[in-house]
């Protein structure tokens, strides 16, 4: 038996993914597309079961209908396909977003960044001789810099977590940097 589930943003209640599954599929994070993983990594998210006990064909039809109605931003296809784990090119989906939707997403991302900065302490990056190299308004910006400039971590958040261990102590990060919170 199959079920339909949705992933949604806890803060905004935005449904960003509609899926079909069996077993514990709805709880899995690793086997997701990059849009899903990025959204999930940047927001507080939860999963909700919509309907269970469905035959496969009924589940696939319902998935297609919900994706069409809700237009979730992280679904890569129109739903109902038997992909069996194969990656599907976004260019093949035929999905387009309205200008209003793009503007709303852009505004939400901008507000999210502004909130992160308001709730953060300034970060100072020092070289081995304790000279200031760079300053950041928030820790997440440090993670982006470390990842983009030096390829630390699989993504910006993992680079930030690597650096977190080195704040306000005497140890060098990768024999290159010291990090301090500016008070």
The answer, yes or no, to whether residue 85 has pLDDT greater than 50, is no
Residues 37-49 have pLDDT tens digits of 988 999 999 999 9
Confidence of residue 88 (pLDDT cuts 50, 70, 90): very low
Max Cα-Cα span within the chain = 66
Among candidate residues 47, 38, 44, the one with its CA nearest the CA of residue 73: 38
State how far the alpha carbon of 86 is from the alpha carbons of 32, 77, 79, 112, in Å.
11, 12, 14, 32
* Contact partners, residue 51, CB within 8 Å, separation at least 6: 3, 4, 62
The answer, yes or no, to whether residue 11 has pLDDT greater than 50, is yes
Token look-up 């589930």 returns 5
Element (H, E) at 77: none
Confidence of residue 96 (pLDDT cuts 50, 70, 90): low
Tally the C-alpha atoms within 13 A of residue 41's C-alpha that lie toward its C-beta.
16
Burial 74-99 (b: 16+ CB within 10 A, else e): bbbbebeeeeeeeeeeeeeeebeeee
* Contact partners, residue 140, CB within 8 Å, separation at least 6: 116, 120, 156, 157, 160
Instruction: Say what the pLDDT of residue 17 is.
Output: 93
Among candidate residues 42, 179, 178, 167, the one with its CA nearest the CA of residue 116: 42
Among candidate residues 28, 16, 30, 23, the one with its CA nearest the CA of residue 2: 23
Residues 65-79 have pLDDT tens digits of 998 888 888 888 877
Instruction: Say what the pLDDT of residue 91 is.
Output: 44
Residue 179, both tokens? 């990090």
Share of the chain above pLDDT 90, in %: 29
For the full predicted model, state whether its pTM sits above 0.95.
Answer: no
For range 127-133, the mean pLDDT: 91
Confidence of residue 89 (pLDDT cuts 50, 70, 90): very low
What are the strands, taking DSSP E only, across the chain? 2-9, 15-21, 45-54, 122-126, 132-136, 178-182
Instruction: Say what the pLDDT of residue 47 is.
Output: 94
Q: 2-92 is classed in which CATH architecture?
A: 3-Layer(aba) Sandwich (3.40)
Q: Contact 68/23 with Cβ under 8 angstroms?
A: no
**Cα–Cα distance for residue pair 135/83, rounded to 1 Å:** 45
The answer, yes or no, to whether residue 19 has pLDDT greater than 80, is yes
Question: Mean of the per-residue pLDDT values for the chain?
Answer: 82
Instruction: Say what the pLDDT of residue 115 is.
Output: 67
Instruction: Say what the pLDDT of residue 179 is.
Output: 86
């Amino acid at each position: 038996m199959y079920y339909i589930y949705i992933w949604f943003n806890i803060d905004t209640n935005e449904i960003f993914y509609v899926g079909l599954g069996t077993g514990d599929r709805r709880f899995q994070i690793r086997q997701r597309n990059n849009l899903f993983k990025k959204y999930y990594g940047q927001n507080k998210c939860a999963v909700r079961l919509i309907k269970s006990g469905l035959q496969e064909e009924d589940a696939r039809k319902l998935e297609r209908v919900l994706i069409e109605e809700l237009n979730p931003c992280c679904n890569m296809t129109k739903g109902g396909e038997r992909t069996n784990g194969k990656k599907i090119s976004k260019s093949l989906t035929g999905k387009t977003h309205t200008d209003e939707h793009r503007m709303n997403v852009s505004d939400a991302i901008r507000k999210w960044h502004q909130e992160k900065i308001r709730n953060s302490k300034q970060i100072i990056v020092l070289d081995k001789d304790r000279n200031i190299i760079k300053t950041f308004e928030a820790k997440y910006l440090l993670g982006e810099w470390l990842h983009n400039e030096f390829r630390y971590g699989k993504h910006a958040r993992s680079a930030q977590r690597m650096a977190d261990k080195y704040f306000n102590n005497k140890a060098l990060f990768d024999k290159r940097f010291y990090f301090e919170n500016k008070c």
